[in-house]
A = this chain, B = another copy of it.
Amino acid sequence: MANAIKGMKIRGAPLLGAAAALALAQTAYKSHAKTNEQLFDELEKTASLIRSTRPTAVNLFNAIDTILNTVREHSGDVKEKERFLIKKALEFVDNDAEMNFTISENGARLINDGDVVLTHCNAGELATVEYGTALGIVKIAHKQGKKITVFATETRPLLQGARLTAFELVRENIPVTLITDSMVGYVMERRMVDLVMVGADRILQSGHVINKIGTYTIAVLAKENHIPFYVAAPTTTFDMKSSVEQVVIEERAQEEILKIFNKPIAPEGVRALNPAFDITPPELVTGLVTEKGVISATPDQIKKIAVD
């Protein structure tokens, strides 16, 4: 599981949370522990391996903490605790699908018939257990009979927009136009976009949104062009502890930029910078679409709906 996460065979903040939960379930299932101490030693080993994979999406850390805390408080013996953990992990996974469905319904109210939605990276089924967040909203609006079209940014370096978002939308017969990341300004300035809807890898109590590199750029352009900028994410994406200075932005291998399809695009001797995420300040966010409703990106409103 750790390798699959590191290599991005599993990606998307909500799906990383589910993967972390299932990694713990797998450890419990295979465990031969005789005592609670032995069991928690094994679980902590799994937990620290999974925690070391990718530093930015908080769902991964939240999933581990939630499940381990619940199991710690369970009063049963080792075998009972193992069964309880597996049950809780599966509930966590199912819960993600349910939350996304509710997010999609809540967000679909923001979309009008005929709207053109711009999205970045992939916040669809392929980033979650089911439905998706930003793309779930688009799909529900489409099912409601609203004529929606989508601009998908290709999302360099790993092209999740071209490979995943475009794939999901074509399959649902939702018209999608691919643009390079450099064309966001152009389509906004020409009034070709009605709103932006993206996902999130982490939302701080301060309202800062950490999401795929390029999100901040889109948010600044949306503000300049008076276009609403929404972020769709479950409350499992909230990080109520970290300040913006404490957030670690994952830097990935230079090769992801310097090569495409394993072929170099730049001469030797060129280095590349490859931050996987950026941080959008709350003043650029029109609203957060969560399973508990649409709120402003303010500490008060975030605190009110955060899980304890």
Chain A residues with CB under 8 Å of chain B are 151-157, 159, 162-163, 166-167, 170, 176-187, 189, 213-214, 216-217, 220-221, 223-224, 257-258, 260-261, 263, 265-273, 275, 278-279
Contact = CB atoms under 8 A, between A and B. Distances in A.
A248 B155 CA distance: 27
Contacts of A213: 180, 182-183, 186
Given A156-B156, A189-B279, A278-B189, A273 B179 contact: yes
Contacts of A180: 156-157, 181, 213-214, 257
18 contacts: A154-B265, A156-B180, A162-B266, A163-B265, A166-B267, A170-B268, A178-B272, A180-B213, A180-B257, A183-B214, A183-B273, A185-B217, A186-B275, A187-B273, A217-B217, A220-B221, A224-B224, A261-B263
Copies in the complex: 2
Given A181-B182, A213-B186, A217-B217, A270 B176 contact: yes
Contacts of A189: 216, 278-279
Nearest to A249: B186
Nearest to A180: B156
Contacts of A260: 260-261
A186 B278 contact: yes
A279 B187 CA distance: 11
Contacts of A157: 180
B182 A156 contact: yes
A19 to B, nearest CB: 25
A265 B183 contact: no
A279 B183 CA distance: 11
A209 to B, nearest CB: 13
A154 B154 contact: no
A274 to B, nearest CB: 8
A252 B61 CA distance: 45
Nearest to A121: B182
Nearest to A268: B170
A-B complex: 5 closest residue pairs judged by Cβ atoms: A182-B214, A185-B217, A181-B182, A156-B180, A162-B266
A178 B267 contact: no
A217 B182 contact: yes
Contact of A185 (B151, B162, B224, B278): B278
The winner among A154, A167, A179, A184 for most chain B CB atoms within 10 A is A154
B184 A217 contact: yes
A258 B260 CA distance: 14
A176 B157 CA distance: 18
A299 to B, nearest CB: 21
A272 B217 contact: no
A186 B181 CA distance: 13
Contacts of A268: 170
Nearest to A170: B269
Contacts of A223: 224
